[in-house]
C-alpha cells in the first residue's frame, strides 16, 4: 500500500489517534513526537489489529531490500519507542504484545480503517459490546450488598435478552473481577474488549433504595447517559427486576437509536418494562 492510500486515514484507540497520512500520533488531541521507523511499526500493527505481524514483515518495511541478519535489536528499539509514547509495557501490555520469536500484535480495540477479516474471524460480529460492572453498595447495610449483586445480574440478563444480534453483554464472571477496582474506564474497556461500560451504585435510607447508573463510552470516557431510580424496598426482587428493565430499555434507546416514541417502541422493550407502560 502506498503512502497516498493512507491520506485521510485516522485510527483511534483509547485516548490516542494515529493519522496514517500525516504520520502523526496524537494524545488527547496533542501531537506526540514519534520517529519514522517506530511510526512505521505502529502503523503496520494498527492496520492489522488482533493479528500477528511477523518480525520479517516489519524488517522489510523498515529496511526494504535489506539482507541484513542482525535487525533484531533495531526492531526491538523501534518497538520500545512505540511503547514509550503510548505509556505501554512489554511485560503487561495494553497495546503492543510481543509474540516470542514470531513478531508483534496490537491487542487493544481500535476504531477506524483496518484490514478486513473473514466474517468468521470477527471477534465482535459487528455488535456493540457492553460490560456491566458490579454495582457498588454505598451503605453499610449488608442487605443492600445482596441487592447490588442482584441488580447487576438482572441487568446482564435483561440486556442479553434485548437485541443479541446487535448488542453483546460481557459475562458476569468476566466483569466480576473489577468489583472495587480503581482502574480507569479506558483500561477496563480495553481489557474486556467493550465499547461501553455501565456502572452504578446503590444506597438505602429507611425502607427506600436509590440507584444511580451511568453509561460510559470507553474510547473517550464520556458519559452518554445517567439516571437515578428511587424505590420502596418492600419487595427486593421486584425492585431489582423493575429497575433493571428500565435501565436496559433506556440503554438500548441510547445505543441502538431506537425510536423514543412509545407508540413506535419495539415490542421487546415493552415486554421488558410493563410497569413503565402503565405509568405512561
Q: Which residues of 185-197 are buried (b: 16+ CB within 10 A; e: fewer)?
A: bbbbbbbbbbbbb
Question: What pLDDT sits at residue 258?
Answer: 44
Show pLDDT as tens, one digit a residue, over the chain (280 residues).
443 344 447 888 888 999 988 889 998 888 999 999 999 999 999 988 888 888 888 888 887 765 555 677 888 899 999 999 999 988 888 899 998 878 899 988 888 654 433 333 334 556 788 999 999 988 887 778 888 888 899 888 888 887 777 888 888 888 888 888 888 888 888 888 888 999 988 888 778 888 888 888 888 788 888 888 888 878 888 888 888 888 888 887 778 754 444 443 444 443 444 344 343 3
In a domain, 34, yes or no: yes
In a domain, 120, yes or no: no
In a domain, 273, yes or no: yes
Residue 134, class by beta-carbon neighbours within 10 Å (0-12 exposed, 13-18 middle, 19+ buried)? buried
Can you tell me the distance from the alpha carbon of 133 to that of 180, in angstroms, rounded to the nearest whole number?
Answer: 10
What does pTM read for this prediction? 0.50
Could you list the beta-strand ranges (E) of the chain: 10-13, 16-19, 24-27, 30-32, 52-54, 96-99, 103-106, 128-132, 136-137, 167-169, 196-205, 208-217, 222-232
Q: Tell whether 65 and 134 lie within a shared domain.
A: no
CATH number of the domain at 220, please: 3.40.50.10070
In a domain, 121, yes or no: no
Can you tell me the distance from the alpha carbon of 253 to that of 260, in angstroms, rounded to the nearest whole number?
Answer: 7
Residue 133 in 3-state DSSP? coil
Residues forming a β-bridge with 132: 198
Residue 106 in 3-state DSSP? strand
Cα end-to-end distance, the chain, whole Å: 57
Can you tell me the distance from the alpha carbon of 202 to that of 190, in angstroms, rounded to the nearest whole number?
Answer: 26
Question: What pLDDT sits at residue 65?
Answer: 62
**Gyration radius of the chain's alpha carbons:** 23
Can you tell me the distance from the alpha carbon of 26 to that of 17, in angstroms, rounded to the nearest whole number?
Answer: 5
Q: Tell whether 247 and 160 lie within a shared domain.
A: yes
In a domain, 269, yes or no: yes
Can you tell me the distance from the alpha carbon of 240 to that of 242, in angstroms, rounded to the nearest whole number?
Answer: 6
Question: What pLDDT sits at residue 93?
Answer: 87
Question: What pLDDT sits at residue 132?
Answer: 92
* Segments forming the whole domain that contains residue 88: 3-106
Question: What pLDDT sits at residue 225?
Answer: 82
Domain count for the chain, please give it: 2
Question: What pLDDT sits at residue 79?
Answer: 93
Kind and range of the H or E element at 64?
none
CATH number of the domain at 20, please: 1.10.10.10
The position carrying cell 492489522 is 48
CB 102 within 8 A of CB 54: yes
Q: Tell whether 167 and 233 lie within a shared domain.
A: yes
Question: What pLDDT sits at residue 259?
Answer: 40
Final residue in a domain of this structure, among 56, 76, 106 = 106
Question: What pLDDT sits at residue 81?
Answer: 94
Question: What pLDDT sits at residue 86?
Answer: 93
Amino acid at each position: 500500500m502506498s503512502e497516498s492510500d493512507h491520506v485521510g486515514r485516522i485510527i483511534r484507540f483509547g485516548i490516542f489517534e494515529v493519522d496514517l497520512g500525516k504520520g502523526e500520533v496524537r494524545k488527547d488531541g496533542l501531537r506526540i513526537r514519534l520517529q519514522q521507523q517506530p511510526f512505521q511499526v505502529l502503523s503496520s500493527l494498527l492496520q492489522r489489529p488482533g493479528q500477528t505481524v511477523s518480525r520479517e514483515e516489519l524488517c522489510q518495511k523498515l529496511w526494504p531490500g535489506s539482507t541484513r541478519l542482525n535487525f533484531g535489536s533495531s526492531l526491538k528499539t523501534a518497538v520500545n519507542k512505540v511503547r514509550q509514547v503510548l505509556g505501554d509495557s512489554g511485560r503487561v501490555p495494553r497495546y503492543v504484545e510481543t509474540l516470542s520469536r514470531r513478531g508483534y500484535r496490537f491487542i487493544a480495540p481500535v476504531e477506524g480503517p483496518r484490514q478486513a477479516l473473514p466474517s468468521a474471524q470477527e471477534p465482535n460480529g459487528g455488535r456493540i459490546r457492553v460490560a456491566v460492572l458490579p454495582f457498588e453498595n454505598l451503605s453499610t447495610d449488608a442487605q443492600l450488598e445482596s441487592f447490588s449483586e442482584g441488580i447487576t445480574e438482572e441487568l446482564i440478563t435483561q440486556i442479553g435478552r434485548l437485541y443479541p444480534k446487535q448488542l453483546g453483554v460481557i459475562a458476569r464472571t468476566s466483569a466480576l473481577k473489577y468489583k472495587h477496582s480503581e482502574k480507569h474506564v479506558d483500561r477496563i474497556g480495553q481489557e474486556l474488549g467493550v465499547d461501553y461500560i455501565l456502572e452504578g451504585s446503590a444506597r438505602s435510607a429507611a425502607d427506600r433504595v436509590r440507584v444511580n447508573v451511568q453509561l460510559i463510552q470507553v474510547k473517550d470516557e464520556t458519559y452518554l447517559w445517567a439516571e437515578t431510580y428511587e424505590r420502596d424496598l418492600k419487595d427486593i426482587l421486584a425492585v431489582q427486576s423493575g429497575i433493571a428493565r428500565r435501565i436496559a430499555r433506556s440503554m438500548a434507546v441510547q445505543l441502538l437509536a431506537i425510536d423514543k416514541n412509545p407508540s413506535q417502541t419495539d415490542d421487546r422493550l415493552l415486554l421488558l418494562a410493563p410497569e413503565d407502560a402503565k405509568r405512561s
